């Protein structure tokens, strides 16, 4: 049982490049989330999904898109990366109506 995994662990992008971060969970959870964490700050919710085929905006959605084509996967896309998107990105999942969220190990992204 791997829990929540994230790919890649590290990435460096140039301004304007695009990329997709992959989150996978093997716990059959309905809900999945993408957060970003900047130095000295708590996590901020980017987008979330309450089930396969559904997505919704969180606190800081601008510049990101998401897709949940399969229940176990939640993809976060950056179409045109900007230096302000330099951050650590965490994915999480939770059961429907669940309490605790399970987090992945994070993806450290640098945009130059």
Partner 1 sequence: DAKTTQPPSMDCAEGRAANLPCNHSTISGNEYVYWYRQIHSQGPQYIIHGLKNNETNEMASLIITEDRKSSTLILPHATLRDTAVYYCIVRVAGGSSNTGKLIFGQGTTLQVKP
Applying CB under 8 A, the residues found at the interface with partner 1 are: 4, 31, 33, 40-45, 48, 50, 56, 58, 90, 92, 94, 97-106
Closer by beta carbon to partner 1, 11 or else 44:
44
Q: Among 46, 57, 48, which Cα is nearest to 30's?
A: 48
**Cβ 110 to partner 1, closest distance in Å?**
15
CB of 55 to partner 1, least distance (A): 11
Query: Is residue 63 packed enough to be buried (19+ CB in 10 Å), middle (13-18) or exposed (0-12)?
Result: middle
């Amino acid at each position: 049982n791997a829990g929540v995994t994230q790919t890649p662990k590290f990435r460096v992008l140039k301004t304007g490049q695009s990329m997709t971060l992959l989150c996978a969970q093997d716990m059959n959870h309905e809900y999945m989330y993408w957060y970003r964490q900047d130095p000295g700050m708590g996590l901020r919710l980017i987008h979330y999904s309450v089930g396969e085929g559904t997505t919704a905006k969180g606190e800081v959605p601008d510049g990101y898109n998401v897709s949940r084509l399969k229940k176990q996967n939640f993809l976060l896309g950056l179409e045109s990366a900007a230096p302000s998107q330099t951050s650590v990105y965490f994915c999480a999942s939770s059961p429907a109506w669940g309490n605790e969220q399970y987090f992945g190990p994070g993806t450290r992204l640098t945009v130059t």
